[in-house]
Amino acid sequence: MSADQVLAFETNCHIFDGCGFPAPGLHSFHFRPIFTVDGFHFDKPILLALLSTVVVVAFFWAAFGRPKVVPGKLQMIGEAGYDFVRRGIVYETMGKKAGEKYVPLMVSLFFTVWIMNIWAIIPLAQFPVTSIISFPAALAIIVYVTWLFLTFKKHGFVGALKNISGYDKNLGKVLVLSVPIELFSNLLVRPFTHAVRLFANMFAGHTLLLLFTIASWYLLNGIGIIYASVSFVMTVVLIAFELFIEAVQAYVFVLLACNYVQGALAENH
């Protein structure tokens, strides 16, 4: 929550008090630096991003650091999560033989994105890291570079260009149109949409949560209490919905990553 919105709560600002509604907006995604070093601002989103990495690493270390033949509860949860990504996403998209070596990467991406998303409903944190475009963009760049590397490694320079451009001599005169479109789509649109799809969903979800949360507090005055109760119910419903969306967005992000890698390894475009 932004400084302006926090101030609205601290000053007990309600409807009919003469103060305006502190509506969420772009300012809701700006945070004061926790500290600054040589011009680098360390703020809440960066802290949560680092904590996401720590949570993922710590969980899997605890689950698989000393694996047992008869797994304990933590190991069972870890195996279930790992197996979900391996069988439900990687194998389904790339096949078992081709996809096995990429399972660790996809598992890491899935749980990192999911934890970054889920901070939105965690008390005190209450902010999805992926609603800041730079974080989904960084993850999309990792997938993009991996896709390019595998494409050139698998097909060689000429073959990779054909793969990326969708070159097929059977297309004849249509090649004049199809090749530029495919190049533009694969080299520019693909990484952009991969990042924006995740960012836009989490940005919109967090804005809606802020809107109804702030409205619930703002309307707590006189007859406005009736509307505040409705707004509060909507807040609870949105939190439940966000739980679902946060997992779905992690799933979609990794599903697309698998599709891109599968395309790089395929014989034909």
The tens digit of pLDDT for each residue in 211-266 reads 998 888 888 877 778 888 999 999 999 999 999 999 999 999 999 999 999 989 88
- Listed in sequence order, the residues at least 6 apart from 269 whose beta carbon sits closer than 8 Å to its beta carbon are 162, 163, 164, 165, 166, 167, 168, 182, 263
Measured between alpha carbons, how far is 64 from 44 in angstroms, rounded to an integer? Answer: 30
> Which two three-digit tokens encode residue 101?
């070596």
Nearest Cα residue to 14 out of 252, 225, 266: 225
- Band (pLDDT 50/70/90 cuts) for residue 10 is very low
- pLDDT tens digit sequence for 43-86: 999 999 999 999 999 999 998 888 787 778 889 999 999 999 99
> Which two three-digit tokens encode residue 269?
């475009």
Give residue limits of the domains in the chain.
3-265
At residue 43, the 3 state secondary structure works out as: coil
> Which two three-digit tokens encode residue 74?
């933590």
Kindly give the residue spans of alpha helices, DSSP state H, lying in the chain. Answer: 3-10, 44-64, 73-85, 92-94, 96-99, 103-118, 134-165, 175-184, 190-218, 224-265
> Which two three-digit tokens encode residue 257?
């990553």
Strand partners of residue 40: 37
What 8-state DSSP symbol labels residue 101? Answer: G
Q: Which pTM was predicted?
A: 0.89
pLDDT of residue 173: 77
- Give the C-alpha distances (Å, rounded to integers) separating 236 from 196, 222, 231, 233, 248: 26, 22, 9, 5, 19
